[in-house]
Chain A
Amino acid sequence: MSELRDKIESVIANEPVALFMKGTPQFVMCGNSDRALRALRGAGAPVAAVDVLPDPAIRQELSAVSGWPTIPQVFVKGELIGGADIVEELAASGELEQRLETALGPDYRDSRTEHLVGVAD
């Protein structure tokens, strides 16, 4: 197993909410990544963002791990929630906040932070 895949799996397993995106929360490089980020922000989620653009291998390894072909990808407590369309839809129905509460506890909004996690060297 590659070191890169180890790092990706570690982010998915250890971050309460992981967002694999094109660009960074400060400089989003894709409309769908922006939609996913906005939905997570709207739900008050803590976000650990991983930029997949520095190395095409990140995206390849991520899709191999998740079985999901497109970017962005959102994971809560290690579980794939989906891409931008799903996260947006769940946010609109209120289900996203419910799932965050169930997975992270009722006070999950208190730990609301955004940080960038690097997986490539």
Chain B
Amino acid sequence: MATEPLQALLQRAFPDATELRVEDRTGGGDHFHVTVRSPSFDGLPLLDQHRRVNDALAEPLRDGTIHELRITTRGTT
């Protein structure tokens, strides 16, 4: 899978994101590192921040198009 569909899913889930990156770590289209910086993460525990990213990417995680996912989340404060 290319990075663009994942980028689009994240964009939809985090329309207020100030930073949103999807990196294909191996070039193979199944190991990704996503970075999301959003004011909606402010004050939210890390577990819940990552849960929201997992939820946004639930479909490609479930069907196996994402084989390995690294997540970096940040609030804006």
Contact = CB atoms under 8 A, between A and B. Distances in A.
Contacts of B51: 67-68
Tier of interface size on chain A: 10 to 19
B71 A69 contact: no
Interface centre among B50, B58, B61, B72 (most CB of A within 10 A): B50
A83 B58 CA distance: 15
Contacts of A30: 68
Contacts of A82: 46-47, 50
Contacts of A85: 50, 70-72
A68 B46 contact: no
Interface of B: 46-47, 50-51, 54, 58, 61-62, 68-72
Interface of A: 30-32, 67-70, 80-86, 89-90
